[in-house]
Amino acid sequence: MITTDIKNKILAAIKANRANYPSDAKHAASLGITTSVYSAVKNGQTDRVLSDANWISIARKLGVSLRGEIEWKVAKTPTFQFITAQLEACQGSGISAIMCDLPNIGKTFTARHYVKTHPNAIYIDCSQVKTKLKLVRKIAGEFGVDSKGRYADVYEDLVYYLRSIENPLIILDEAGDLQYEAFLELKALWNATERCCAWYMMGADGLKEKINRSIECKKVGYTEMLSRYGDRYSKVTPDDGKERQKFLLSQAQIVAKLNAPEGADPGEIARKSGGGLRRVYTEIEKLKRL
Task: Quickly state the pLDDT bin for 61 (edges 50, 70, 90).
Answer: confident
Confidence at residue 289, expressed as pLDDT on a 0 to 100 scale: 77
Plot region of 30 (φ>0 → left; ψ -120 to 50 → alpha; else → beta): alpha
| Average pLDDT, rounded, for the chain | 93
Neighbours of 55 (CB within 10 A): 20
pTM over 0.85: yes
Confidence at residue 44, expressed as pLDDT on a 0 to 100 scale: 86
Task: Quickly state the pLDDT bin for 156 (edges 50, 70, 90).
Answer: very high
Plot region of 167 (φ>0 → left; ψ -120 to 50 → alpha; else → beta): left
For the stretch 159-209, pLDDT in tens is 999 999 999 999 999 999 999 999 999 999 999 999 999 999 999 988 999
Confidence at residue 45, expressed as pLDDT on a 0 to 100 scale: 87
* Mean pLDDT of all residues in 91-97: 96
Neighbour-count burial for 91-114, b at 16+ CB within 10 Å, e otherwise: beebbbbbbbbbebbbbbbbbebb
Calculate the CA dihedral of residues 14, 17, 19, 22 and round it to 10 degrees. -80
Confidence at residue 97, expressed as pLDDT on a 0 to 100 scale: 97
Confidence at residue 47, expressed as pLDDT on a 0 to 100 scale: 86
For the chain, the first-to-last Cα distance in angstroms comes to 27
Range with the poorest average pLDDT among 47-51, 95-99, 262-266: 47-51
Please determine, for residue 85, whether its predicted confidence score (pLDDT) is greater than 70.
yes
Could you state, in order of their start, the residue ranges of all structural domains in the chain? Answer: 4-62, 78-234, 241-288
Confidence at residue 95, expressed as pLDDT on a 0 to 100 scale: 95
* Mean pLDDT of all residues in 144-171: 96
Neighbours of 11 (CB within 10 A): 19
**What does the alpha-carbon distance between residue 146 and residue 137 come to, in Å, rounded to a whole number?**
8
Confidence at residue 68, expressed as pLDDT on a 0 to 100 scale: 66
Please determine, for residue 63, whether its predicted confidence score (pLDDT) is greater than 90.
no
* Mean pLDDT of all residues in 73-92: 97
For the stretch 198-250, pLDDT in tens is 999 999 988 999 999 999 999 999 999 899 999 999 999 999 999 999 999 99
Task: Quickly state the pLDDT bin for 119 (edges 50, 70, 90).
Answer: very high
Confidence at residue 60, expressed as pLDDT on a 0 to 100 scale: 86
Please determine, for residue 125, whether its predicted confidence score (pLDDT) is greater than 90.
yes
Please determine, for residue 43, whether its predicted confidence score (pLDDT) is greater than 80.
yes
Q: Do the strands 96-100 and 198-203 form a parallel or antiparallel pair, or are they unpaired?
A: parallel
78-234: in CATH 3.10.150.10? no
Contact 77, 24 (CB under 8 A): no
| Choice between 98 and 55, residue whose per-residue pLDDT is larger | 98
Neighbours of 128 (CB within 10 A): 12
